[in-house]
Structure 1
Amino acid sequence: MAVQEKKEAVAVLGAGSWGTALAMVLADNSHEVRLWSHNEDQVKEINENHTNKKYLPGVDLPERIVGYGSLNDGLIGIETVILAVPTKAIREVLGKIRAVLREPITIAHVSKGIEPDSLLRITEMIKEEMPVELLKDVVVLSGPSHAEEVSLRHPTTVTVASENMAAAEKIQDLFINHNFRVYTNSDVIGVEIGGALKNIIALAAGITDGLGYGDNAKAALMTRGLAEIARLGTKMGANPLTFSGLAGIGDLIVTCTSVHSRNWRAGNLLGKGKTLDEVLDNMGMVVEGVRTTKAAYQLAQKYEVKMPITSALYDVLFNGKEAKDAVDVLMARGRTHEMEDLVNVLDERNFEN
């Protein structure tokens, strides 16, 4: 598939595995890519060795990718920013952008999380932090995509969503090529909720694997986990069909079943008896599902939505409950119809419309 003819300079903020992999896609499409990192040693490695060994070992980076340690220099003349930092760092980085930006930009974020306590999605955080005069549009990119495989140019498909479809299509044009297929979607809420909450279910799937419970348990967990995601997302205003797509079931499958998934790996260690602190020290990278579990637990209370898997995981992460005991509680729940809760939410949505 041909990429767009017009090339431009794009800033990717965050030189972790996902930000670097996406920078490679942009470079493959002949764009000028400025990859920003707050770590000067990492910037030096990118520019001199064309590698990022900590996050993508064994991968050679295209020379079109130039590392920047100065955010001011990296944003000069930029119209599009790819925001690829962990959820907990987003407000800090947006503050730095705001301080040096002179012209309005489009921000496409690729993070998957919800802010605890405020319960804001990332697009909402961006709109809250960025002055209207400096922000053209906000786009979210999500879907089943491990950075390790994208960096090897394995076939990958994602979706981009925005309230402004022209902005979504622009990001689609920047990224799409014969290895990296991009669909568009107008359901920002659904894409963000699906991308964030699948990390919770991946943690839980890792726990069941760590406990040695096998494929039956994991299949059930993923299926009922998707029902939880759809219940909450639909209650928040998402299109329920989004959860049957790339940002829903697609991302859920890849994150719950792959050793590349840091959330699955973290859950697996919890299932094997490690404490949360030990797990986070062992991972060495952000495990978004931990913070998102707290946020989703709070959202379930706010919207009065049943989320038993999320509640059980919350008890494991924050209340010291043993993982096996949490699974036993889930299995001992009272009888219910498989479609009951989702049908009730859909009925409410139809009534409101």
Structure 2
Amino acid sequence: MPINSKLVHRVCVVGGGSWGTAVAKLVSENTERWPEFEPLVKLWVHDAALAATINEQHENTKYLPGVKMPDAVVAEADLSAALSLATLVIIAVPHEFLHGEIFRKILVGGAANCRVCSLVKGLDVVDGRPALVTERMRRDLLGLDVSVLMGANIAAEVAAGSFCEATLGVRTAEDGPVWQRVFNRPWFRVNVVMDATGVELCAALKPIAAIVRVGLEEMRRFSKLFFPHVRTATFFEACGVAEVVVSAYSGRTRRCAEAFAREVAAGGPAPNWAALELELLGDQKLPAMHRLREVMECVRAQGPRAQARFPLFSAIHAIAFHGAPPSRVLKLPERRIS
């Protein structure tokens, strides 16, 4: 399916949170521009009332307030209707809400041999080893192509047209030009790499690696330990170093971690992460904590020697869940992480 095909591509974004909404807005600017696309972009929103609000007010008042959506973005609460004859499906639901029913409806409602691009950050754990979320997608989608888009992006900034970069990881050369045409804008630069696994791992690991140099090195070590074919160069793309820097200095992970550390430093008990989520994020979630548990489960399954290679990951886990003081991240054994 080359980009100059007479076939009209129909795009569906699955997930009406802040990121899915921002991406739908971005993509609609390209679908209205290029003749090979159906201009309308369907956005699946789980909440029927919110879908109606988006269509009536052209604004996702719950997850991306203050950002006006173009008429070309049409929200649907019915997933089957949203996916009907879609040739390009973008999955933007949180990892913990990704379930088989989504994939079954893609197979039934989407066009034959449709392409899928994942924006989902996270890892599955199978028998103590990390498993890529996209591998589960490909299995449930009976072998359909699944690409990955990740980068140092904050939804509100992308929606506002601030300059951003992202890395598109593909498994086949044919997928790169199609998805780049979907996402790339003058202010949203998309670089294509033939390393979908590396791109996905960068995004999955970065929330627990906010001390930048050490974190990047442990991300690389983890990826190479379980997925040896990953390219080191991928960690220097927007999905790697840039996204780690952004997470370290802004966004929901930084906000919750700072509140956690401030409360502990004041002499109080370590706050509950679920309570912090509710207080600071409302209906949004903090996926970094789930990923931290998953990553450490995999590391520990490899034995003490393997765990010693990840002092930062281990320290953050001990702080987050076992009462260690936040200052522990400043006392890492340098000889093990250099």
| TM-score, structure 2 as length reference | 0.85
- The match for 2:276 is 279
Separation of aligned partners in 1, 2:18 and 2:216: 26
3-state SS of the aligned residue for 2:41?
strand
Measured after TM superposition, the shift of residue 33 of structure 1 is 0.3
Which amino acid is the alignment partner of residue 16 of structure 1? G
User: Among the aligned pairs, what percent are the same residue?
Assistant: 26
Which residues of 2 match residues 149-298 of structure 1 at below 5 A? 149-202=157-210, 221-235=211-225, 236-237=227-228, 238-258=230-250, 261-273=251-263, 274-282=271-279, 283-284=281-282, 285-298=284-297
Unaligned runs of 5+ in 1: 203-220, 340-353
Contact 1:72/1:100, CA 8 A, preserved across alignment = yes
**Structure with more of its chain in strand, by fraction:** 2
Please say if 1:14 is aligned against 2:15: yes
Unaligned runs of 5+ in 2: 33-38, 264-270
| TM-score, structure 1 as length reference | 0.82
3-state SS of the aligned residue for 1:139?
strand
Separation of aligned partners in 2, 1:198 and 1:288: 11
Q: 1:45 aligns with which of 42, 50, 53?
A: 53
3-state SS of the aligned residue for 1:174?
helix
Separation of aligned partners in 1, 2:206 and 2:272: 22
- The match for 1:348 is none
Separation of aligned partners in 1, 2:301 and 2:78: 41
1:182–1:331 distance in 2 versus 1, CA, 3 Å = closer
Measured after TM superposition, the shift of residue 224 of structure 1 is 0.9
1:116–1:287 distance in 2 versus 1, CA, 3 Å = farther
**Structure with more of its chain in helix, by fraction:** 1
Contact 1:91/1:129, CA 8 A, preserved across alignment = no
Separation of aligned partners in 2, 1:275 and 1:90: 24
Separation of aligned partners in 1, 2:111 and 2:90: 17
Measured after TM superposition, the shift of residue 271 of structure 1 is 0.8
Measured after TM superposition, the shift of residue 298 of structure 1 is 2.1
1:85–1:323 distance in 2 versus 1, CA, 3 Å = farther
Q: 1:120 aligns with which of 122, 127, 131?
A: 131
Contact 1:27/1:65, CA 8 A, preserved across alignment = yes
- The match for 1:59 is 67
3-state SS of the aligned residue for 2:123?
coil
3-state SS of the aligned residue for 1:115?
strand
Measured after TM superposition, the shift of residue 98 of structure 1 is 4.2
Query: May I ask how many residue pairs the two structures share in their alignment?
Result: 310
> Aligned-residue CA RMSD in angstroms?
2.2
Separation of aligned partners in 1, 2:298 and 2:159: 35
Measured after TM superposition, the shift of residue 164 of structure 1 is 0.7
- The match for 1:35 is 43
Which amino acid is the alignment partner of residue 121 of structure 1? L
